[in-house]
Amino acid sequence: MRPGWISTLARMDAPQLDNKTDFAVGPRMLLAKDGERLVVIVKATFARLPGERALELVPRSERRGIRAADVPWGDPEKSSIKYPSDLCLAKPGTDVIVVAAAHAPGGRAVPSFDAGVRVGTLEKTIRVFGLRVWAANGSSLSAPRPTMGVEVRYDHAWGGFDGSDPASPVEEPRNPVGMGIARDPAALTHTAAPMIEDPLKLLASARTGPPPAGLGAIGRHWEPRRSFVGTYDAAWLQQRAPMLPLDHDDRVNLCASPGLTAVPPLLGGENVALLNLTPGGGSLSFRLPRIRITTKLHAKGREPETLTPYLDTVLIDTVRVPDSSDVVVELVWRAAFRPPRRMKDARLVVTEEEIA
């Protein structure tokens, strides 16, 4: 983690928190370009009962907290992100992140099928293939075997990293954990090929180089996020550390798969549709709640300050769900205040209002 994202609240007096919502609230002190910010992160957790259009707030015992770090699908050094961290200063838009496995329609194995998500005007489709192998030198692919489905993770999509020559590694910067990248094409011969593709830009050979396909979160060190991190060089170390570099861009915090970030942000109330992302395949739909979050900071010697943050993250989860539900949805809002001089004398009030 770069120094600019270090939370310092743990070693300071925390503000008093008056949480009048049914949601998880986590104040964090994070570093910006010009100093610290008291960032208030609010997360609501909803679930859908099968057949229902409306989401229901989960019981407190199932409420999800603020994630301080990315949670990977598998080995942290080798796999993609399953659940992204909630910690950041700001997101210039709304990320839509899907944590799911793709399931063949009708629960019957087929060579390939499509799966996807639609949230409001955002829409993305992937194509899932059964086991295929590369022909000699990655010149083509074998016919896919029937499949019941696969976890929708970037590990199964086009991409990869080949460090066989440490002095000159080869990678797909948009997905360095994927399948298909090799310095020597002969190394691909008869090895497994990607199982998840963009249906509009399908692989013909290992030289096709299509955009990696997925519905989940992308890593901070992947493109396009890495191009927005900013410059951490000797000048930054001498003149600005630990604050963020001047060329830092908040778009680095947008972690949704390309095509699944809404700018301007979502308002809530949008219709959601999923295709072949729940056991047995098929489609389901629901509507996002529309909620207004208000955060107010009372600090000694200052006028009260009120911020009304926008919805900046929608995470749709069909993997880790209660027995009675088929989908869990996380909604996240965040507000950033200039911190008071004496944190223990400050009080944060967080309220919610559901909009019909």
The model's pTM: 0.94
pLDDT band for position 12 (50/70/90)? low
Q: How many residues does the chain have?
A: 356
Alpha-carbon Rg for the chain, nearest whole angstrom, is 22
Q: What percent of the chain has pLDDT over 70?
A: 97
- pLDDT at residue 266 is higher than 50: yes
3-class secondary structure, 9 = helix
What does DSSP assign to residue 192?
B
Asked whether residue 10 carries a pLDDT value surpassing 80, the answer given is no
Per-residue HEC secondary structure of 142-181 comes to CCCCCECEEECCHHHEEECEECCCCCCCEECCCCCCCEEC
CA 243 to chain centre: 24
> Would you state the pLDDT for residue 289?
96
Quickly state the pLDDT bin for 3 (edges 50, 70, 90): very low
Averaged confidence pLDDT in the chain: 94
pLDDT for 53: 87
Q: Is the dihedral of CA 196, 201, 202, 207 positive or negative?
A: negative
